[in-house]
Chain A
Amino acid sequence: MVTNITNLGRSGLSDWLVQRLSAIILALYTLFIVGYLLFHPGLDYATWSGLFGQTWMRIFSLLAFVALSAHAWVGLWTVTTDYLKSTGIRLAVQTVIILAIFVFLVWGIQVLWGA
């Protein structure tokens, strides 16, 4: 077995599963948003804000953000291990990626529950 400590689930199987489950969540979320926009052609700020004011939508959105974070990490981790052969550069890039994902996630939560 090839050992790795920087991937998400420490196992290829869990990474693989996370990637696919998160993809399903992201697909559903995207479909919902696109559908919502189509059914509300004259969308104004109040309606949009109202949608995100509801708890279920906040939970759904948070789920999508978490799914996006996990999906992005698994995907980008794979890309870095494929193409960045120098350990130092790879670790640095991975650190930047994980920090960015963390920042975006916290920021997303703040957007959802703030204001």
Chain B
Amino acid sequence: MSTLQVSLYRYNPETDSAPYMEEFQVDTQGRDLMVLDVLHMVKEQDNGLAFRRSCREGVCGSDGMNMNGKNGLACITPLSDVIKKGKLTLRPLPGLPVIRDLVVDMSLFYQQYERIQPYLQNDTPEPAIERLQSPEDRDKLDGLYECILCACCSTACPSFWWNPDKFVGPAGLLQAYRFLADSRDEATRERLEELQDPFSVFRCRGIMNCVAVCPKGLNPTRAIGKIREMLLADAT
């Protein structure tokens, strides 16, 4: 029997006037479980615990949360990666309003994603088959299109904490560059015009928390740098 102490952020607006941390003991039988497994075990002790989850394999982006101080996906984070002093502390993603327990309101995050017009724009009449794209041009989308919208990056970004309504945030900017980099997209100029203000892109201060936490190993800071280069090339 090896018990793990789990400290959980709890808040139910119907019953709690303020959030608090609650302690649980979970018997892991010494296995190196994923954090999500531990959450399921806690939920069997307390049916009321709320958290999001879906694919449990790191591709749907549901269970982004703050584990011992670092954002990540609970389903692909083994305990051995996060445990400090034999204890697991779980909190919701920082910087977004909490709906209940580990569930945050992601509206602001999604709004920023929608703002960058995250869809291919091409007014040239479509050919009868696919639009051709060279493997080299397609390679430019690698490291960009894989984003799962888990919000681990944006909610680890101080610039996004201070201006979530104006700064697009690393996730949205990664997608902005995904379309800027796509050889099939024709709206480059319009996209850049939307991004040249002092907040949308330029509030990034290169802190690189986004890179440190991305569960998919993507690099939003590099994408932001590329957008800046494009803006500079376009305007000078």
* A interface residues (Cβ-Cβ under 8 A, vs B): 1-4, 7, 11-13, 15-17, 78, 81-83
Q: Which A residues touch B166, using CB under 8 A? A: 2
Q: Please determine whether A7 and B198 come into contact, CB atoms closer than 8 angstroms.
A: yes
Q: Please determine whether B162 and A82 come into contact, CB atoms closer than 8 angstroms.
A: yes
Contacting residue for A17 out of B159, B194, B201, B232, CB 8 A: B232
Q: Please determine whether B162 and A2 come into contact, CB atoms closer than 8 angstroms.
A: no
Contacting residue for B199 out of A2, A17, A83, CB 8 A: A2
The answer to whether A1 and B198 touch (CB under 8 A), given A13-B235, A82-B162, is no
A83→B158 CA distance, assembly (Å): 11
> Number of contacts between A and B (CB, 8 Å)?
47
Q: Residue of A at shortest CB range from B162? A: A82
* B interface residues (Cβ-Cβ under 8 A, vs A): 159, 162-163, 166, 193-203, 228, 231-232, 235
A interface, by DSSP: helix, strand, loop or mixed?
helix
Q: Which A residues touch B232, using CB under 8 A? A: 13, 17
Q: Residue of B at shortest CB range from A4? A: B198
Contacting residue for A13 out of B159, B199, B202, CB 8 A: B202
Q: How far is the CB of B25 from chain A (nearest CB, A)?
A: 41
Contacting residue for B197 out of A1, A78, A82, A83, CB 8 A: A1
Q: Please determine whether A12 and B235 come into contact, CB atoms closer than 8 angstroms.
A: no
Contacting residue for A12 out of B159, B162, B198, CB 8 A: B198
Q: Residue of A at shortest CB range from B198? A: A12
Q: List 5 A-B contacts (CB under 8 A).
A: A1-B193, A3-B197, A12-B198, A13-B232, A82-B163
The answer to whether A2 and B193 touch (CB under 8 A), given A81-B163, A83-B162, is no
Q: Please determine whether A16 and B162 come into contact, CB atoms closer than 8 angstroms.
A: no
Q: How far is the CB of B161 from chain A (nearest CB, A)?
A: 9
Q: Which A residues touch B203, using CB under 8 A? A: 12, 78
Q: Please determine whether A1 and B195 come into contact, CB atoms closer than 8 angstroms.
A: yes
